[in-house]
Structure 1
Amino acid sequence: MTNRILTKLLCASALVAVPLAANAVDLEITHWWTSGGEAAAVRALAEQFEATSDNTWVDGAIAGSGGVARPIIISRILGGDPMAATQLNHGQQAVELIEAGLMLDLTDIAEAGDWANIVNPPSLLEACTVEGRVYCVPLNIHSPQWMWTSLSAFDAAGVAPAQNWDDLKAAAPALREAGKQPLVSGAQGWQYANQFNTFVSGLGGEDLYYAVYRDGDEAALMGTEMKAIWDEIVITRDLMAGTAIQDWNLATAEVINGNAAAQVMGDWAQGEFAVAGKTAGSDYDCIIGMGRAQLIATAGDAFYFPVNKDEEVTAAQKELAQVLISPEAQVTFNLKKGSLPVRGDIDMSTAGTCMQKGLAVLADGGTIDSSDMLLSPDAVGQIQDMLVDFYASDMSAEDAQAEFAKIVMSDK
């Protein structure tokens, strides 16, 4: 080990002792963070890694959403051309790869770093654990339960800014009259699903949410509460009429520029507002749970490390794993990304207004598991496809409710 490496490691407070690569290696890291805010957050991670290691972060960004990137990532791993590390979401996406012995076991550094006591909530580490062994590093907490609003759009329409879903519905005619889109979304299944999940948890509350996604309870899926939510989803289709946007960040840009009044999107949208130089409270607002149930899903991103026969690469992979969960990386990355840190022992007092809202909900225990943790990847994909069909048609609330219930119940 060189003195330079040793000195750097001693300066990184969260790193624990593991065998290090004798020679510097290049690590290809794949992810799908390509928007302005996301790219800034990735750079923060790369800089943190290279400041504490002689190894090099080789960026392998894959354009498009996770739905585009994940099949490419998995295909490479299965095809014998693995990257050194890759982003995936918490949930069931990597279980088969782990069971096939294709993912690096990180239990030694997880135990040495006391991850069991620093990761909050514990479900994030549990999502990385298979048969008692840890196979990924939880990086952040992302939740879809947010509505982002443009204060200038409401001002142009001469109405008070919406504080909840009912306010937005009431303001829609005035917004249309002022030439503002009441509600905007990219026309992709995962975006529609995020919005739908927000309505289920925000309007339905925790009990209904778990009855639907965890239990697949037919009475809940086909009951009056879910029928009422589907009625509201029909209204979202009306308020979104007239848009032709695909990518989520372009939809966010419509809110940033004041062309649209609202977007239901995950907390990663904060990064786009930050890059645009916008300030919460004066330029935009952020509302959890459509202004009703204060619940956030504690899902997010994790990094997995495909098995590599080169011992120097393996050592470098473990160095990177330690950096990702270090206090320094947790603060710098999440402040830029708009996500919440997975560590419960760091100072986030410099976080902005919206992140403080999320931290307060997290501290109050207002957390739910994400739908990705409660449903199989196949069911998640079927729901997304169904919602694409719904928004491209005049499908009734009754028909949509029945189709959704069929998908969920068949997954249980």
Structure 2
Amino acid sequence: MKLNTITLGAMAAALLSASAAHAAPQVEVLHYWTSGGEAKSAAELKKMMEAKGVAWKDFAVAGGGGENAATALKARVMAGNAPTAAQIKGPAIQEWGQEGVLANIDAAAAEGKWEASLPPVVNSVMKYKGHYVAVPVNVHRVNWLWVNPEVLKKAGAKPPTNFAEFFDAAEKIKKAGLTAIAHGGQPWQDATVFESVVLGTGGADFYKKAIVQLDQGALTSPTMLKAFENLARIKTYIDKDAAGRDWNLATAMVINGKAGMQFMGDWAKGEFTSAGKVAGKDFLCLAAPGTEKAFTFNVDSLTMFKMKSAEEQKAQLTLANAVLSPEFQEVFNLNKGSIPVRAGVSRAKFDACATKSMDDMAATSQGGGLVPSFAHGMAIDTAKAGAIQDVVAKFMNSNMTPQAAVQALAKAAKTM
């Protein structure tokens, strides 16, 4: 009897030990990649992590601009229960760094040779006080205009390159009984249109002065007034049901031929490709009117939070290097519509829109036209960005005049 008890005890201990050995280390990732193309991209990362013996706990929070995810993250961190990684970017990374809750992932950067394979402008954003705390996932171009060529053909319009051609096409589409501009009336989408209009109206140097440096002279200039006049005209071509519409539903209007054009970043391309559409044939990707020689960039990144156990910390470093592996960079960006952030990823599988984006990014980084997206949290701190976004949203949803909008914008830029 005694022997049996000992034997059973040993067997139980062995089973417990075996199950502990088989319990994979886990990463919990908070993100807002929830639309078709984005969700496929997140699923690929999960698959890759599981192949490396790391369990993936998904913490997906819907809402294309990330506001809902930011709220959920704050609640988790305040409760002392931060996820392994969260989708945060730009100046917000620095704001979280100041809270003292971010993990140092220099070890992953050294192993993956990040310094050599990432653009300097991206490297600097991923660091807090000289140490890596985040890993970049991709580069998005924001200043795209997505066009359904069949709708243009029906309306007798041609693909626009400047505002005169754009408004001519919009008028013809409207007269053909279709929606000229597909849009979702959410503040971040309003801001996305606004920044492309400012860029197209004033050029990259004006954009930097007004939107990045928040120069009062530029913000109150005739050029900014003209930008708001262009925006006021754009409003007249948006359908009455736009309020609250998600961006991917607006993209679906272009895909299905119900609308002709949409201002949106290149994540919209993931929706076209998920629907089996071919770039250059079923849809066109054009630089937003007047922005051919400029590139507004938006870099998605996973910011790492301090983990308690050595096992969790190791899994976190594994996640960081999986994100920057050429394999994931290729599959993620093919699904998402963006372009790889690291050097050395083959172009072979990327379509005409992506290769144009790669070429334009290289050209604008040399020519001074590469600028950070204000609407997507890359240009200015969150308080000022929020105040400016509120002005734009009010303008888009009221009878505010361009003159009043210019004054409100200048005031908002002074927000502390």
TM-score (norm 2): 0.89
Distance in 1, matches of 2:274 and 2:251, equals 12
2:372 is the alignment partner of 1:369: yes
Q: Which residue identity does 1:250 align to in structure 2?
A: L
**Structure 2 counterpart of 1:124:** 122
Secondary structure (helix, strand or coil) at the match of 1:361 reads helix
Q: What stretches of structure 2 of length at least 5 have no aligned partner?
A: 1-20
Q: Which residue identity does 2:100 align to in structure 1?
A: G
Task: Tell me how far 1:243 sits from its aligned partner.
Answer: 3.2
**Structure 2 counterpart of 1:72:** 72
Q: Which residue identity does 2:87 align to in structure 1?
A: Q
Structure exhibiting the larger radius of gyration computed from Cα positions: 2
Distance in 1, matches of 2:286 and 2:209, equals 24
Identity %: 33
Alignment counterpart, residue 180 of structure 1, candidates 173, 178, 181: 178
Q: Which residue identity does 2:170 align to in structure 1?
A: A
Secondary structure (helix, strand or coil) at the match of 2:280 reads coil
Secondary structure (helix, strand or coil) at the match of 2:185 reads coil
- 1:202–1:294: 8 Å Cα contact kept in structure 2? no
Distance in 1, matches of 2:310 and 2:268, equals 39
Task: Tell me how far 1:32 sits from its aligned partner.
Answer: 0.6
Distance in 1, matches of 2:174 and 2:373, equals 34
Q: What stretches of structure 1 of length at least 5 have no aligned partner?
A: 1-20
**Structure 1 counterpart of 2:140:** 142
Q: Which residue identity does 2:395 align to in structure 1?
A: F
- 2:146–2:261: 8 Å Cα contact kept in structure 1? yes
Distance 1:292 1:244, change over 3 A: closer
Alignment counterpart, residue 403 of structure 1, candidates 385, 392, 408: 408
Distance in 2, matches of 1:115 and 1:41, equals 22
Task: Tell me how far 1:353 sits from its aligned partner.
Answer: 1.0
- 1:124–1:299: 8 Å Cα contact kept in structure 2? no
Distance in 1, matches of 2:136 and 2:27, equals 19
Deviations 1:348-402 (A, max 9, x none): 2321111111001112124212323331101111222222211111111111111
Spell out structure 1 runs of 4+ moving beyond 6 A. Answer: none
| Number of aligned residues | 388
- 2:29–2:85: 8 Å Cα contact kept in structure 1? yes
When the two chains are superposed, the root-mean-square deviation of aligned CA atoms in Å is 1.7
- 2:101–2:305: 8 Å Cα contact kept in structure 1? yes
2:34 is the alignment partner of 1:26: no
- 1:124–1:298: 8 Å Cα contact kept in structure 2? no
Task: Tell me how far 1:175 sits from its aligned partner.
Answer: 1.3
Secondary structure (helix, strand or coil) at the match of 1:281 reads coil
Task: Tell me how far 1:30 sits from its aligned partner.
Answer: 1.2
Task: Tell me how far 1:241 sits from its aligned partner.
Answer: 4.2
Deviates more, 1:367-376 or 1:264-273: 367-376
Distance in 1, matches of 2:250 and 2:412, equals 28
Distance in 1, matches of 2:248 and 2:297, equals 22
- 2:126–2:134: 8 Å Cα contact kept in structure 1? yes
Task: Tell me how far 1:22 sits from its aligned partner.
Answer: 9.4
Matches within 5 A, 1:288-367: 288-364=287-363, 365=365, 366-367=369-370
Secondary structure (helix, strand or coil) at the match of 1:290 reads coil
Deviates more, 1:266-275 or 1:280-289: 280-289
2:394 is the alignment partner of 1:389: yes
- 2:134–2:302: 8 Å Cα contact kept in structure 1? yes
**Structure 1 counterpart of 2:4:** none
- 1:143–1:266: 8 Å Cα contact kept in structure 2? yes
